[in-house]
Amino acid sequence: MTSDTGPDARSLVGRRLREARTRTGLSVSALARRLGISTSAVSQIERGVMQPSVSRLIAMTDALGVPLATVLSATGVPASGDGEAYAIERAEDAAFLQLGGGVVFRRLTPGESPGIDYFESIYPPGSTAAAKDQLFRHEGYEVGQMISGELTIDFSDEIVVLRPGDTISYPCSRPHRLHNTGGEPAVARWLIVHPSPPTAPA
C-alpha cells in the first residue's frame, strides 16, 4: 500500500483540479462563484495549502464536469486507446489520498471509466464528509458496500448506520452526510453512476 501523505501527495488533488479548471477555460473567480465560496478558498485548494473535504471535492468535480477519478489518480488517468485496451493497477502501486476532514480515498478504476466513479473510502473515527449538520448533494446515483467498521449516513429525514456487509443505494441528489462516530476506521467501496450527457439532435 502506498501512503500518499507527504507534501507532494497533499498538493496532488489541487494540481489535478487546477488542470481540469484550466482545460474548461474557467477562471478561479468563476469557479468560486459556481461553488459559492471565496476565490481565496479555491486558490488554496489548488495550491495544496488546504485539502478539500469530500463534499467540497465532489462539488468541484461536478462544477468542472470531470470524473472524481481524474483528481484521485496519482499518475493521471490513462487513455483507453482503441476501445480494445485494458488498464491494470497493481496492489503495491495503489495510492491513498487524504482529504480534508481526515477522510482517505483510493481510486479503484485503473483507467478511464466513462460515466462511473469507483473508489474506496476510509473514514477514521471522528472524520466526516462535510461540516457538522451540513448535508450535501451532487450528481449521479450512488451504490455503497461496507467493508469494515461502521459508517453513519445522515439523510434529511433519517439516519442510517452501515455495518460490514451492508449495501446501500440512493440518488446523490438526496441531501446526505457521511461520518464515522465509531471507534475504528470505517472502510467502504462506492460506485457513483453519472447521468449520460444529453444527445445532440440529429
Q: Is residue 23 part of a domain?
A: yes
Q: Is residue 84 part of a domain?
A: no
Neighbours of 4 (CB within 10 A): 18
What pLDDT score was predicted for residue 79?
A: 45
Q: What percent of the chain has pLDDT over 70?
A: 86
Residue with cell 461502521: 150
What pLDDT score was predicted for residue 9?
A: 57
What pLDDT score was predicted for residue 83?
A: 55
Q: Could you tell me if 57 and 105 lie in one domain?
A: no
CATH number at residue 61: 1.10.260.40
pLDDT tens across 133-172, in order?
899 999 999 999 999 999 999 999 999 999 999 999 999 9
Last residue of one domain, picked from the residues 72, 101, 132: 72
**In sequence order, which residues have a C-beta less than 8 Å from that of residue 142 and are 6 or more positions away?**
169, 170, 171, 172, 190, 191, 192, 193
Between 87 and 108, name the one with better pLDDT. 108
Is pLDDT at 28 greater than 80 in this prediction? yes
CA 160 from centroid of its chain's CA atoms:
21
For residue 119, give the C-alpha cell. Answer: 473508489
Q: Is residue 198 part of a domain?
A: no
Interval 85-112 mean pLDDT:
82
Between 49 and 12, name the one with better pLDDT. 49
Q: Could you tell me if 62 and 128 lie in one domain?
A: no
Q: Could you tell me if 59 and 14 lie in one domain?
A: yes
Q: Is residue 79 part of a domain?
A: no
Q: Is residue 201 part of a domain?
A: no
pTM of the model as a whole: 0.81
Please state whether beta strands 176-179 and 151-155 pair in parallel, antiparallel, or not at all (unpaired).
antiparallel
Q: Could you tell me if 6 and 60 lie in one domain?
A: yes
Is pLDDT at 176 greater than 70 in this prediction? yes
Q: Give the structural domain span for 153.
A: 91-193
pLDDT tier at 66 (50, 70, 90 boundaries)?
confident
Q: Is residue 181 part of a domain?
A: yes
Instruction: Report the domain count for the chain.
Output: 2
If 0-12 CB within 10 Å is exposed, 13-18 middle and 19+ buried, where does residue 84 land?
exposed
Q: Could you tell me if 121 and 43 lie in one domain?
A: no
Please provide the average confidence, as pLDDT, over all residues in the chain.
85
Q: Could you tell me if 114 and 61 lie in one domain?
A: no
Q: Is residue 82 part of a domain?
A: no
Q: Is residue 77 part of a domain?
A: no
CB-CB contact of 97 with 13 (8 Å): yes
For residue 67, give the C-alpha cell. Answer: 470524473
Is pLDDT at 85 greater than 80 in this prediction? no
CATH number at residue 164: 2.60.120.10
